[in-house]
Chain A
Amino acid sequence: GAGVSQSPRYKVAKRGQDVALRCDPISGHVSLFWYQQALGQGPEFLTYFQNEAQLDKSGLPSDRFFAERPEGSVSTLKIQRTQQEDSAVYLCASRYGLAKETQYFGPGTRLLVL
């Protein structure tokens, strides 16, 4: 079946611009995660949804970052007033159920803020 998809795959933004990144999880997957991956580093957690409920947003670096999953399926990560330090790959992952189960990652959105 289809995996996790993300769009756009690449985004170039001018500093101060707002961006929206989309994630389509695997159909039926209850849990959805957003991670940020800087060059040469492992992914770092941003936020977690169970269905439409955002249960953990402890990793969001500032109030410029906002995520939603209104119908419990597609999710959008929005970054307002982008800064150069926001440049990274943003990875979305979904999981069917329990914490011990596998998280499946999408291809990521590579964001470059100029």
Chain B
Amino acid sequence: QKEVEQNSGPLSVPEGAIASLNCTYSDRVSQSFFWYRQYSGKSPELIMSIYSNGDKEDGRFTAQLNKASQYVSLLIRDSQPSDSATYLCAVPIQGAQKLVFGQGTRLTINP
């Protein structure tokens, strides 16, 4: 089992709909969770971080964390074509300083 797993996609969502991105992780004691967005040819950009069970909302983005299920998700409401990108889930594993990334989910928003 990989330490951080995501469906690679591609995930195609119509404009205005909700995009749902999922991530599972292996380390039960992980405390912090990050979602990065990466446009093609660009570097990862942080869009959400979450530390506690439940939901965290920031504009059109909502991160959801369930530590018991070792599951973190990202919802994008009112999806826009500019949301088309690869979304990376990242988790510090086993207390290490480094981030372990999933392989990313490629999201396409269709106008």
Residues of chain A having any CB pair with chain B under 8 Å:
31, 33, 35, 40-45, 48, 50, 55-56, 59, 91, 99-100, 102-108
Contacts and interface: CB of A to CB of B under 8 A. Distances in A.
Interface in B41-75: 42-46, 49, 51
B98 A102 contact: no
Contacts of B42: 107
B43 A40 contact: no
Contacts of A42: 4, 88, 90, 101-104
Nearest to A38: B103
A100 B51 contact: yes
Nearest to A59: B98
B99 interface: yes
B32 interface: yes
B98 A33 contact: yes
Size range of the interface on B? 20 to 34
18 contacts: A33-B99, A35-B101, A40-B8, A40-B103, A42-B101, A43-B99, A43-B101, A99-B95, A99-B96, A100-B31, A100-B32, A100-B92, A103-B34, A103-B46, A104-B46, A105-B44, A105-B45, A106-B43
B60 to A, nearest CB: 20
* A-B pairs, 3 with minimum CB distance: A42-B101, A45-B98, A100-B32
B13 interface: no
B97 interface: yes
Contacts, number: 60
B43 A48 contact: no
Interface string B9-53: 000000000000000000000011010100000111110010100
A43 B96 CA distance: 16
Q: Which of B31, B97, B103 has the most CB of A within 10 A?
A: B97
B61 to A, nearest CB: 15
B85 to A, nearest CB: 13
A56 B31 CA distance: 20
A55 B58 CA distance: 34
Contact of A43 (B32, B44, B51, B97): B44
